[in-house]
A and B are shown apart, each in its own frame.
Chain A
């Protein structure tokens, strides 16, 4: 399906039929992903097909109403509201923070003029405040984030669910948490870094754009201005990622996430998409 608009009055019946078949399958979600993307592009350029697609979508939408109601467990409402509440708190508190968005000192930045890197990058050893302002939101927020994040990767679902009990126990008693703010292509994303009393720090992201299979999100910890890799997420993964960092936060001034080639890089090669000063 190309990008130019159809003139239905000039289509042969067999062409109209083929078009209707494609739009019917599209409305039912029965097209393979690449074909569906083609149709979506075409629809933005073709008002007549768009009107057809809308009418078909209305018919398809009615199918949902054919099912019997099912009573959810009372716990579902609690989980939903807690998750929404945690997101809301996270969103409003993150607004006041300015996140580092570029590597290096002023002067080495590119033409995009991101905000200057935070002081802590050039003055390592910035004092870490005990009991950050996020502490009050724990352990509920961490629990909620962990339970949302777990099970994100389809094939790992079962294993992750089995781990859930251990992970929850580990992070219930968090010592610190920090909020990472998104920037650039991930401006909508956020993340929470949890430092447990014992064990490794846990990073939980939300809303990271999905990457092509050739790329992965990599986590860096910065000590004395030197970034070292702390975690490489699976290639192509995005959205809600949950992962332990491979090292502790001793002397760390900043935690940052970048997009790197799948498998990770020895040193960051692209602008920061998520970061927080500790």
Chain B
């Protein structure tokens, strides 16, 4: 394996036999993983535990990665998110990863491919353009790990209102991100 230049997918395939493949994945993604974990659990020490648990899950379950669902980066950060939620909800870090949903399509859909082109600035920009109440509901769910019932209680809102905000917010976010993608393409020479 040409380690330094190996693709993320090739590195995953080398797990769990090759420790240096894990090391390279860590070098590539430890910083965004820590960024997400710190944002979610609040302190660096707990965040490092979360990140370690997440990379160990990747090490053990590399074969579960499905390329048609998105990039290795997205998959890995999804595992970090799951492990951070475990922490926030007081579950042991060994709780199973999200179950397989069922057979995957043979190829990634247009949205999955488009999403891989988006950079941090575009995502932040889209979030900033969400109506504040929708952004707040989404952030409480995703980053704080609250259930929709807990969000309703925290904000003193009816559950139905929160459900509506999550739905509308995600829909709007996708719309904004698709526009961002179009803008990106048009901006290229």
Contacts and interface: CB of A to CB of B under 8 A. Distances in A.
Enumerate the 10 nearest inter-chain pairs by beta-carbon distance, A residue then B residue, closest first: A239-B94, A154-B90, A69-B31, A64-B77, A67-B35, A70-B34, A30-B141, A28-B141, A21-B163, A24-B167
B52 A76 contact: yes
A168 B74 CA distance: 36
B177 A67 contact: no
Interface in A23-55: 24-25, 27-32, 40, 43-45, 47, 50-51, 53-55
B87 to A, nearest CB: 8
B30 A28 contact: no
A17 interface: yes
A237 B177 CA distance: 42
A44 B103 CA distance: 8
Nearest to A39: B101
Interface of A: 17, 20-21, 24-25, 27-32, 40, 43-45, 47, 50-51, 53-73, 76-77, 79-81, 83-85, 87-88, 91, 148, 151-155, 207, 210, 237-240
B179 interface: no
Given A59-B177, A61-B115, A88-B16, A24 B31 contact: no
Contacts of B39: 67
A58 B66 CA distance: 13
Given A28-B141, A59-B177, A65 B23 contact: no
Contacts of B138: 28, 63
B30 A77 contact: yes
A27 B138 CA distance: 11
Interface in B130-189: 138, 141-143, 145-149, 151, 163-164, 166-167, 170-171, 173-174, 177
Contacts of B8: none
Contacts of B94: 152, 207, 210, 238-240
Contacts, number: 197
14 contacts: A24-B166, A25-B163, A30-B141, A30-B151, A44-B101, A51-B109, A55-B109, A62-B115, A62-B173, A65-B118, A67-B32, A69-B32, A83-B52, A84-B19
Contact of A68 (B35, B73, B87, B167): B35
B92 A66 contact: no
Contact of B56 (A53, A58, A84): A84
Given A72-B51, A81-B19, A31 B147 contact: yes
B35 to A, nearest CB: 4
Contacts of A32: 147, 149
Interface of B: 16-17, 19, 22-23, 26, 30-32, 34-39, 44, 47-49, 51-52, 55-56, 59-60, 69-70, 73-74, 77-78, 80-82, 85, 87, 90-96, 98-99, 101-102, 105, 109, 111-112, 115, 118-120, 123-124, 127, 138, 141-143, 145-149, 151, 163-164, 166-167, 170-171, 173-174, 177
A166 to B, nearest CB: 19
Contacts of A58: 69-70, 74, 111-112, 115
Nearest to B48: A76
Secondary structure at the A interface, as helix, strand, loop or mixed, is: helix
A59 B35 contact: no
Given A30-B141, A40-B101, A84-B59, A61 B26 contact: no
A100 to B, nearest CB: 24
A60 B115 CA distance: 10
B142 A69 contact: no
A71 B34 CA distance: 7
Contacts of A67: 32, 35-36, 38-39
Contacts of B173: 59, 62
B103 to A, nearest CB: 8
A184 B53 CA distance: 25
A83 B44 contact: no
B117 to A, nearest CB: 11
Nearest to B82: A29
A158 B113 CA distance: 43
Contact of A239 (B47, B93, B101): B93
A73 B48 contact: yes
Contacts of A28: 138, 141-142, 166, 170
A36 to B, nearest CB: 9
A57 B173 CA distance: 12
